[in-house]
Amino acid sequence: MATFKPIDLSGLIDERKASSIKAQIAEACEKKSYFQVINHGVPIEIMEELREVGHKFFDLSKEEKLAVAGKPYIGAEGYGNSMILTEPKFWREFLEVRILPLSERRYKYWPQQPAEFRETVEKYSAAVLDLTHRLLAVMSENLGLKPTYLRNAMGHTETQQNIVFQCYPPCPEPENNFGLHAHSDIGGISILMQQGEGLQVAAEDGTWELVPPYPNALVVNLADQIEIITNGRYKSAQHRAIVNRQGTRRSYVTFYHPAMDQKMFPAPQLVDAKVGPLYREFFYKEYWHALPAKRVIEKRLIHSFAINNSVSS
């Protein structure tokens, strides 16, 4: 199955092109649950700087990386190495830091080296946050909602943002290991900068399609809360990371989550009166804490929040 070409967001500021760009985003949201964007407003030089600090961090000694170690599971911050686990077997090491809310940043998990790490991460995450807000506004309008709807539905000023640096070294047995197992992200949307091939997204026919990396493009994955707010009109993207024998792959993903105390529910405007809402109301912290520690579940977490098992895909 062919993948969509990257969407050129520069057209959004041109009245003659904006409607076409919005239509491309709407089609991707409805048919693919993900899309790639170029000319997205995140400065290329900042993207390059983030990749560089990522390279420098993963090149540090084991002892230096362990100085900012956290638990290698959901909600953890700091450095983790999934390759040391017996089960499940994920072939990656990673670094996760909390960006927002500011009051919850824990700098003990932010490495001191490279020296430019903090400044670079703050610049990059701010630019990605602005992109996130612009995309949410377009998606809201495409759904017939006010431009601020999706952002407000996730807490507006109290939303959460994390960034994860991921490194997938060459794997001697790629047929027996994954970088990450098949899953959907639990938050709102995720924005990924990838270096090298390895990201796969589930297609409607049950196959896995490779998401090719384009120069300076960013991948936008819809996550579970978008599926819930849109009452299933937009699906969250089931995806995974594969590994290879030949070389190291790196990626950098920024997660945008609702506020922990935000009440989540389908937008009334998107609920069919004959069918009703597909998902029950809940506070986001309930969803967050429902995810098993090792992030391995036999069925998608979102299904357990469906009303009367109304969701099966």
- DSSP string over 102-160: GGG--GGGS-S-STTHHHHHHHHHHHHHHHHHHHHHHHHHHTTS-TTHHHHHTTGGG-E
* Residue 73 reports pLDDT greater than 80: no
* Residue 292 reports pLDDT greater than 70: no
The pLDDT value given to residue 158: 85
* Residue 272 reports pLDDT greater than 50: yes
d(CA 237, CA 201): 7
Band (172; pLDDT cuts 50, 70, 90):
confident
The pLDDT value given to residue 294: 44
Band (309; pLDDT cuts 50, 70, 90):
low
Which residues face 180 on adjacent strands?
A: 241
> Between 74 and 23, where is the model more confident?
23
Average pLDDT for the chain = 90
Q: Is 1.10.10.10 the CATH classification of the domain at 7-309?
A: no
Highest mean pLDDT among 8-22, 121-135, 277-291: 121-135
Section 161-189 average pLDDT:
91
The pLDDT value given to residue 35: 97
Section 294-304 average pLDDT:
67
Which of the residue ranges 6-10, 171-175, 179-183, 308-312 would you say has the lowest mean pLDDT? 308-312
pLDDT in tens, 205-260: 889 999 999 999 999 999 999 999 999 999 999 999 989 898 899 999 999 999 99
Q: What is residue 219's DSSP assignment?
A: E
Q: For 22, how many CA atoms within 13 A lie in the half-sphere containing its CB?
A: 19
CB atoms within 10 A of CB 182: 14
pLDDT in tens, 97-126: 999 999 999 999 999 999 999 999 999 999
Phi, psi of 66 (to 5 degrees): -65, -15
The pLDDT value given to residue 71: 67
Section 29-40 average pLDDT:
96
